[in-house]
């Protein structure tokens, strides 16, 4: 990290890549750029000074180029349209900043820039759930966790879509200055003061992969989630050996069969909790998730909240306590 005199403000530099998402850019700008004589100063830089196209807003005139990163204590890369690794100039500048000890963070699809710079290799990372599979496909050395709001790996941090960036920025303030200052800033923004990074993005994960060489097997499994399905049973149903079936699942979904089944069961449970009035016990039974206690534990571990809380959040007809 850049050497600072005692009491000198922490310098946050936001990297605005072409077609940066307006809201993703605005989050760190608002949080770190609104501290008159406070603990943070903020700069915005681009690959080169000049106009930068903003997706969802007017073009932005940026005064600083990538050399601004040399004075940064924290670098934040907001999301941008059509995620891909940016130019070598950008990825090299990010890698050099990290080598100097600068803290690097991303919001949404900004994770693709960090991955392109090699900063996520061997690390856990997240991004907007819609792009998580693509991030994992392009960067197999990254452990992509699509469920988490944000992930703190020490020097490198990543966050999910849009509002998760707000959670991440408040987390950075909490890390730097403790909960009181983070809570004060959250109140100014009328935001939740603390959502843990492990709390899940509320998403419906796709469970039937397209394309696939065994589409009928997935459809059959989704119709029989209430049954105690096994890998051998799936293999027999598909007319494949156990080893071939496992290989097909990895090719289609990036997961072993039993993890895919668990995700499918949890996705069905979310659907039933959000749209129906079944009891927790009935949802557990229909989804093949065992006893109510086992279902509650699995749901909390993977979704981040208990089934009852999920129902009360998403089901307008929910009855408290069911």
| Position 85 in a domain | yes
* Domain match, 175 and 43 both: yes
**Nearest residue to 227 via CA among 293, 285, 283:** 285
159 and 293 share a domain? no
Please tell me whether residue 38 adopts helix, strand or coil conformation.
coil
For residues 118 and 111, is the Cβ–Cβ distance under 8 A? no
- On whether both 229 and 281 belong to a single domain, the answer is yes
Q: How far apart are CA 136 and CA 180, in angstroms?
A: 36
Query: Within this chain, do residues 154 and 244 fall inside the same structural domain, yes or no?
Result: no
Question: Is 126 among the domain residues?
Answer: yes
The H or E element spanning position 54 is: strand 54-55
At 181, list the tokens.
């200052």
Return the SS3 of 143.
strand
| CA 131 – CA 157 distance, rounded (Å) | 17
For residue 113, give Cα distances in angstroms to 106, 145, 279. 8, 17, 44
Question: In 3D, which of 178, 81, 164, 67 has the Cα closest to residue 125?
Answer: 164
Tens-digit pLDDT profile for the chain (322 aa)?
A: 555 555 689 999 999 999 999 999 999 999 998 777 779 999 999 999 999 999 988 899 999 999 999 999 999 999 999 888 899 999 999 999 999 999 999 999 999 999 999 999 999 999 998 898 899 999 999 999 887 889 999 999 999 987 889 889 999 998 999 888 887 887 777 555 545 444 455 555 556 666 677 888 988 999 999 999 999 999 999 999 999 999 998 888 878 999 999 989 998 898 888 887 899 999 999 999 999 999 999 998 888 788 988 888 777 665 544 4
- What CATH number is attached to the domain comprising 32? 3.40.50.880
> Do 180 and 292 have their domain in common?
no
Q: What are phi and psi of 246, to 5 degrees?
A: -60, -40
pLDDT of residue 69: 98
Same domain, yes or no, for 150 and 40? yes
How many helices (H) and strands (E) in the chain? 13, 12
Residue 284: inside a domain: yes
What whole-number distance in Å separates Cα of residue 161 and Cα of residue 201? 8
Of the residues 189, 204, 235, the one at which a domain ends: 189
For residue 279, being part of any structural domain is answered with yes
C-alpha separations of 19 from 90, 312, 315 in Å: 15, 37, 36
Same domain, 184 and 273: no
Give the distance from CA 12 to its chain's centroid.
21
- Same-domain pairing of 30 and 176: yes
165 with 231, same domain: the answer is no
Tell which residue, 305, 221, 293, 310, has the closest CA to residue 263: 221
Look at residue 318 in the predicted model and tell me its pLDDT. Answer: 58
The structural domain count of the chain equals 2
Helix (H, G, I), strand (E, B) or coil at 77: strand
Greatest Cα-to-Cα distance within the chain, rounded to the nearest angstrom: 69
Residue 197 lies in a domain: no
In a domain, 56, yes or no: yes
Token pair in block for residue 76: 């934040």
CATH number at residue 219: 1.10.10.60
Based on the fold, state whether residues 78 and 130 are members of the same structural domain: yes
Q: Phi and psi at residue 313, in whole multiples of 5°?
A: -80, -40
Indicate whether 16 and 142 sit together in one domain: yes
Beta bridge partners of 256: none
The bridge status of strand 50-52 relative to strand 60-62 is antiparallel
Q: Is residue 83 part of a domain?
A: yes
The DSSP H or E segment spanning 150 is: strand 150-152
Q: Which domain holds residue 255?
A: 215-314
Q: Both 179 and 293 in a single domain?
A: no
Q: Is residue 199, in this structure, part of any structural domain at all?
A: no
The residue count of the chain comes to 322
Contact at 8 Å (CB) between 166 and 116?
Answer: no
């Amino acid at each position: 990290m850049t050497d600072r005199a005692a009491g000198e403000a922490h310098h946050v530099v936001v990297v605005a890549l072409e077609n940066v998402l307006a809201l993703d850019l605005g989050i760190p700008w608002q949080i770190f750029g609104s501290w008159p004589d406070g603990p943070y100063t903020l700069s915005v830089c681009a690959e080169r000074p000049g106009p930068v196209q903003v997706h969802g807003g007017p073009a932005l005139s940026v005064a600083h180029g990538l050399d601004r990163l040399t004075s940064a204590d924290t670098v934040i890369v907001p999301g941008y349209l059509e995620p891909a690794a940016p130019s070598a100039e950008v990825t090299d500048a990010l890698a050099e900043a990290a080598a100097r000890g600068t803290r690097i963070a991303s919001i949404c699809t900004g994770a693709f820039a960090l991955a392109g710079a090699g900063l996520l290799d061997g690390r856990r990372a997240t991004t907007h759930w819609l792009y998580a599979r693509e991030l994992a496909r392009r960067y197999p050395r990254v452990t992509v966790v699509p469920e988490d709001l944000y992930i703190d790996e020490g020097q490198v941090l990543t966050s999910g879509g849009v509002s998760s960036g707000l959670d991440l920025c408040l987390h950075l303030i909490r890390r730097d200055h403790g909960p009181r200052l983070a809570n004060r800033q959250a109140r100014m923004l009328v935001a939740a003061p603390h959502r843990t990074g492990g709390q899940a993005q509320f998403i419906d994960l796709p469970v039937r992969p397209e394309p696939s060489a065994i589409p009928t097997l997935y459809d059959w499994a989704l119709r029989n989630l209430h049954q105690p399905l096994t890998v051998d049973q799936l293999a027999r149903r598909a007319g494949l050996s156990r080893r071939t079936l496992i290989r097909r699942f990895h090719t289609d979904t990036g997961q072993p069969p039993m993890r895919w089944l668990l995700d499918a069961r949890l996705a069905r449970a979310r659907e039933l909790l959000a749209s129906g009035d079944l009891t927790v016990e009935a949802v557990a039974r229909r989804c093949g998730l065992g006893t109510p206690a086992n279902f509650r534990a699995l749901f909390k571990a993977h979704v981040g909240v208990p089934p009852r809380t999920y129902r009360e959040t998403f089901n307008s007809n929910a009855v408290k306590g069911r």
